Every structure is written in C-alpha cells, then in structure tokens.
Amino acid sequence: MAAAESDSKSLFSLDSYHVSQELGFILPDPLEELPPYYQPWMDIALRVPELVLSHELRFHINKMPLLSSHFLQKHRELRLAHLALSVMTMGYTWQEGESNTVEKLPQNLAVPYWEVSQRLGLPPILTHADAVLANWRKKDPEGNLELLLSLPGGDSVRGFFMVTLLVELAAVPALRNIPTVINGVRCGDSEAVARALEEVSQSIQEMTDALKLMHWWKDNPCMPKGLIYDGVQPEPMEYSGGSAAQSSLLHCFDELLGIKHEAKSGAFLTRMRNYMPPAHKQLIQDISLQPSLKSFVHQQDSERLNRAFQHCVTKLLALRNYHINIVSRFITVPAARARQLRNQSQDSEGEMISRAPTALEERGTGGSGIMIFLKTVRDQTKDAFLPETSKEMKHHS
C-alpha cells in the first residue's frame, strides 16, 4: 500500500499547474462581472473601443475613483480585474495613436493595476493570459465563443484574439498527453509513449489548422520610452506588449521534445515566460527537468516510437513555418509597402503613413528583426530530429 501510494505520488500530473483537462491553459468559465464596488472599472472597460474612437477614454479614466483592490478575492475575480485594467491601460496609452502617447498612468488606474498584478504574478500589461485565456464566454447554447472585452480595431482585433484562442483549444489533447509521455519514459513503457506522442502530433496538426483561420489582423503602434505607473514608482517601466510568444504551449512542446534555442532568441522566449501565469511557467520548468524523451526514444529502438517522435517534430516545424508565412503576410509585406509609400510621398504626407508595420518588423525580439528571430527558432526546431532520419527530414522541410 505504501509503495503504491508513493508510486502514485511520483506520477507526473497536470493537477497542480492550473491546467484544465477540457481547456488546457484557457481559464475555465471566466467571470463576466466583478463585485458591484468595481462597476466604475467595468463601465469603462466595456466601452474602451468606442471611447478611444471618440477621444474620451483618458477623460473618463482620469475622473474614475481610486478603488481598493482588497475586495477582489477569487482567482477568477483577479483575472477579470487584470483584463479590464489592462484593456483600459492600452486604450489610455494609445488613445491618440503614435503621435501623442502618455508618459504617466494616473494613480487611480496604476495603483490597483499594480496590486492586482502582484497578486497574480503577472506584469502590469495586457498579456496573452488576459486577452486570450481569460477573455471569452459562450455566446449561445451551441458553444460558439465571443470575447468579453476588446480593443479598437474591430473585427481584426477580435479575429486575432479568437483565432489564438482556437489554437489554444486545439492544443488541449497534446497537453493532456504530456504526463503520459513523461510517466511512460519514467517506467520504460515505449508503447504508451508512442501512443501519447501520436496524439501530440495530431493535436499540433490541429493547431496549424486553427492558425489557418487567421485572415485578418492589424498592427499596433510603438512607444520608445517606458511608462510611469503613477503612485507605484517614479521611474518609467517597460513591458513587452502581448504576443502569442507568451502562450505556454510551444514552450511545453519545446521542453518535451528537447528543442534547444540559440542564445539570443532563447533569451527572448525565456523572458516571455515572465508574462505567463506562474503555475504555467512552473509546468514548463518542471517538464524541462524530466529525464530526456529524446534519449529514451534513441535507446528503445522501436520503430513506432521513433516515427511518433519524428512526427511531433515535423508537425511543430510545419506550425512554425506556417506562422512565418502569416507574419510575412501581415507584417513584412505591409511594412515594405509603408516604407515605399513614405519614400515616394511628400514630407507631410509621408508622416501620415503609419510607422506601425515597420516598427513591428524591427521590434525587440532579442535585438534581431522578427523574421530572423522566427527563422532561427524554426531552424533550432529542426535540430531536434533524431540523427538517423535527420538529414532526410531537413531535406523535406
């Protein structure tokens, strides 16, 4: 009995990582309302897109009361509060576009935002964990989804958050199988590992299929200096904007499959882990500490296991290739067009053309342009192939 108990204790499971069996990293049943005391926040947060368009958001936020965060108790209350305060902060900062950003966030927003962030272990900025994981509800009994809060940009922004949510959903079977892989390696059950890896690769394929729904999306502008969070600290603070690089999914797969990133791009990806809910970051860390799956596959000499492992790497590579494709369509091509238009037009007209795509293209992913970054990450994925078939697979990708 004691032995069985200690065996079951040592089994790897997702229980303590805030991962749901049905929804993975997505927050189950996000709240749609906060306790009534916080109505002034929700009244504004729900209207951010229209108040930005009418240039009234800063005015409304400036006269909002300074509320204590202490009446927020449950995890889901804190997540909705973080989402609402994040959306307000984004709108406040960018209300006037690139030409007139603010240097300071008012106290009545900055102080509660800081406190809620501290309690959740998230930074005080809109993250993937807010905009995607905690920002959904069922629209109808059929289970169609819609967002709780949005930003200016209409369908483009909604589409971007929604597709990213669908990618998270498609990854749930892969996540559920990670403990089976780890436990199978621990007890030397190569059939169980092979079966689980087959499910992982199938699920990564479904993530790519979900990614193919991405037809729209507009860029976001840039901000050279950090932002002062008034009442928190006098120096400006800098945080990276939200990105699906903050999704815990690919981090988990990389650690499971033993994908090692090059120094600079690896440092960027590691930094993105600080933008994840701490329990999810911990899961990635704990997967990285497990006995090596790749060495296990190598030692077992099972054709099925070999094939299942190679398939996972192939599918992950295909996902990253498809993503590069999207980024080139949505950023690189518009950036080139904007540069060309600016060069052709008269000075004042040229200034009117948004710098956003070019700024995004050059943005700080560890010092390199985004394409170099994404291609480096993709190429490191290829290095995870098992040696014997490595040449052949690299040839095909």
Give the residue with the Cβ less far from ligand HEM, 181 or 374. 374
Q: What is the DSSP letter of 143?
A: -
Which residue type occupies 396? Answer: H
Rounded to whole angstroms, the Cα distance separating 36 from 38 reads 5
Member of 163, 194, 313, 353 binding ligand HEM (CB under 6 A):
163
- Shortest approach of ligand HEM to residue 209 CB, angstroms? 12
Which of 175, 214, 252, 305 is in the footprint of ligand HEM by CB under 6 A?
A: 214
The site map against ligand HEM for 165-194 (x = CB under 6 A) is --x---------------------------
Q: Is 25 in the site for ligand HEM (CB under 6 A)?
A: no
- State how far the Cα of 48 lies from the Cα of 86, in Å rounded to an integer: 11
370 binds ligand HEM (CB under 6 A): yes
CB 107 within 8 A of CB 231: yes
Per-residue tokens: 173:
């079977």
CB of 373 to ligand HEM, least distance (A): 6
**Smallest gap, in angstroms, from Cβ of residue 350 to ligand HEM?**
24
Do 131 and 161 touch, CB atoms closer than 8 A? yes
**Interaction mask 302-341, ligand HEM, x per CB under 6 A:** ------------------x--x--xx--xx----------
Least CB distance to ligand HEM at residue 217 (A): 4
- Our CB check for ligand HEM shows the closer of 244 and 338 to be 244
Nearest CA-CA partner of 123 in 82, 164, 66: 82
CA nearest neighbour of 237 among 108, 60, 370, 117 = 117
Asked if residue 129 binds ligand HEM (CB under 6 A), the reply is: no
**Spatial distance between the Cα atoms of 98 and 357, rounded to a whole number of angstroms:** 12
211 counts as binding ligand HEM under rule CB under 6 A: yes
Min CB(366)–ligand HEM separation in Å: 9
CB of 59 to ligand HEM, least distance (A): 32
**Size, binding site for ligand HEM by CB under 6 A:** 24
The answer to whether residue 365 forms part of the interface with ligand HEM (CB under 6 A) is: yes
Cα–Cα distances in Å, from 303 out to 25, 201, 205, 300, 306? 32, 16, 21, 9, 5
Q: How far is the CB of 33 from ligand HEM (least distance, A)?
A: 28
Indicate which single residue of 164, 180, 201, 306 sits in contact with ligand HEM (rule: CB under 6 A).
164
CB atoms within 10 A of CB 267: 14
Answer for the pair 170, 200: CB distance below 8 angstroms, yes or no: no
Beta bridge partners of 145: 138
125 binds ligand HEM, rule: CB under 6 A: no
Answer yes or no whether residue 149 interacts with ligand HEM by CB under 6 A: no
Minimum CB distance to ligand HEM smaller for 148 or for 244 = 244
Smallest gap from Cβ 159 to ligand HEM, in A, equals: 9
What tokens were used for 148?
């709780």
Q: What amino acid occupies position 268?
A: F
Query: Is 222 a residue that touches ligand HEM (CB under 6 A)?
Result: no
CA distance readout (Å), 188 to 176, 179, 181, 291, 302? 19, 14, 10, 11, 12
Tokens of 382: 């290829």
Q: Which of 61, 87, 129, 250 binds ligand HEM (CB under 6 A)?
A: 250
- Candidates 95-103, 162-170, 176-184, 186-194: pick the segment binding ligand HEM (CB under 6 A): 162-170
Instruction: Tell which residue, 375, 127, 359, 357, has the closest CA to residue 265.
Output: 375
Q: Which two structure tokens, joined as six digits, stand for 161?
A: 């958050």
Q: Which residues bind ligand HEM (CB under 6 A)?
A: 160, 163-164, 167, 211, 214, 217, 243-245, 247, 250, 320, 323, 326-327, 330-331, 363, 365, 370, 373-374, 377
